[in-house]
Structure 1
Amino acid sequence: MKLAFIGIGNVGFALANNLQKRGHKIIVAHNDSNNKTVKEALMKNNGFSTTKVQEAINNSEAVFLAVPFFAAEELLKPLKFNGKPLIDCTNPVGKGISHGLESEISGAEKIQEWANDAKVVKAYTIYGFENLINSSFSNYNVKPVMLIAGNFKASKSLVSALNEDLGFMTLDTGNLDQSLHLEHMTLLWVKMVRRDGHHPNFTWAYLEKQQ
């Protein structure tokens, strides 16, 4: 599958690098050839191709958005997605590790508003990038769960297939407004790790009893 990445920092690179290893073609989308993050990503993996953002969208089957949330509006509004899946990996983290939209609406719903012809799926936000580099927990006979949310069934099915490649079990939490609660899970993880010193090598799992 051809996958475009808008943003190739810690989160974007971890996802792109692992997906390339599993046979996907990665297009790094950028409009600045001198971008430091893009240069660093290409030094670490010269198998990525690069092109302008709109061209990358046009030539891909799905697009990952992994830029700082508060840079997304200006970036997204001029772009045309023509109904393609847009995988929202952003987090609206505000001052003091708070919800940057005051929990009134999810960041993913704002992403859908700004990219109104895309089919947005929230994913890859409830853990830090460390668990996207390596999702394996060999001491347990269970996969970590990746919680997703979105309004479009086909786009969520595509993300579920990518999750399988990345070593995650998928749990579809429902429509895109559920992203607000996923973003609060992000804040829980970030406060534990980045603020309070818990090690980052942990994830959530989904355990279901037989009926």
Structure 2
Amino acid sequence: MRIGILGTGSMAEALGGGWVRAGHQVLVGGRDGRRAAALGERIGAGSLREAAEFGTGAVLVAVPYAVAEQVVAELPLAGRTVVDCTNPVGEGFGLLTAGGPSAAERIAAAAPGARVAKAFNRCHESVWRRNPPVFDGRPLAVPVCGDGEEAVAVVRQLVRGLGCEPVGAGGLGRAGLLEATAALLIGLWIGEGADAQAIAPPLAFAGSSG
């Protein structure tokens, strides 16, 4: 698959590197030519427009949330599967999009004609550098929100390419729940030093009254 990545930060490098190992073709693009060139030693690099045009299979939005809408609005993304991994988390681990629409829905509105999905936003870049992200023998589960079978199928393939298991989390209208979950988990991990995984019971007990 040809994957274009918008952004040259740590998430772009971690996810892009994983997809290269899985056999995909990846090109990262950014406004900072020096950072793109540095990544280009390991992953293909170019401009934001070049990354958008390259990503005939998928385009990952890995720029800071504050500029995501502006970036996608300026690029030719119609007909592309666009994957949003941004986190609209602000001071005090609050959700910047509280009350809606979600970051993913705003990106979809800024990129008419694109098929937008939400995924990969719940984990720190260090998790995506693991090859593969398996913990206590269990592959990491990655929730995916998106409208349309084609876009969701593409993202499921990307998730599996990293050695993870995709989990259907509903349509794009539920992306705000993923973003709110990320805000909660980040606050627990960083703000409280808590093991956030411990807040949910095992599946066998999730719906049990006993």
Deviation at 1:14, TM superposition (A): 0.8
Aligned counterparts of 2:72 and 2:157: Cα–Cα separation in 1? 25
Q: Which residue of 1 aligns with 2:178?
A: 182
Aligned counterparts of 1:129 and 1:109: Cα–Cα separation in 2? 23
Equivalent position to 1:169, from 160, 165, 168: 165
Deviation at 1:52, TM superposition (A): 2.3
Q: Which residue of 2 aligns with 1:126?
A: 122
Q: Which residue of 2 aligns with 1:38?
A: 36
Asked if 2 retains the 8 angstrom alpha-carbon contact of 1:128 and 1:200, the reply is: no
Aligned counterparts of 2:201 and 2:152: Cα–Cα separation in 1? 19
| Aligned partner letter, 2:45 | T
Q: TM-score when scaled to structure 2? A: 0.86
| Aligned partner letter, 1:125 | N
Asked if 2 retains the 8 angstrom alpha-carbon contact of 1:143 and 1:205, the reply is: no
Q: Which residue of 1 aligns with 2:208?
A: none
Unaligned runs of 5+ in 1: none
| Aligned partner letter, 2:19 | L
Asked if 1 retains the 8 angstrom alpha-carbon contact of 2:18 and 2:162, the reply is: yes
Q: CA RMSD in A?
A: 2.4
Change (3 A) 1:208 1:57: farther
Deviation at 1:41, TM superposition (A): 2.9
Asked if 2 retains the 8 angstrom alpha-carbon contact of 1:127 and 1:189, the reply is: no
Q: Which residue of 2 aligns with 1:136?
A: 133
**SS in structure 1 at match of 2:134:** coil
Asked if 2 retains the 8 angstrom alpha-carbon contact of 1:8 and 1:38, the reply is: yes
Asked if 1 retains the 8 angstrom alpha-carbon contact of 2:33 and 2:47, the reply is: no
Deviation at 1:185, TM superposition (A): 1.1
| Aligned partner letter, 2:133 | S
Asked if 1 retains the 8 angstrom alpha-carbon contact of 2:59 and 2:81, the reply is: yes
Looking at secondary structure, tell me which structure has more helix per residue: 2
Change (3 A) 1:205 1:47: farther
**SS in structure 2 at match of 1:96:** helix
Change (3 A) 1:40 1:195: farther
Tell me the percent identity: 24
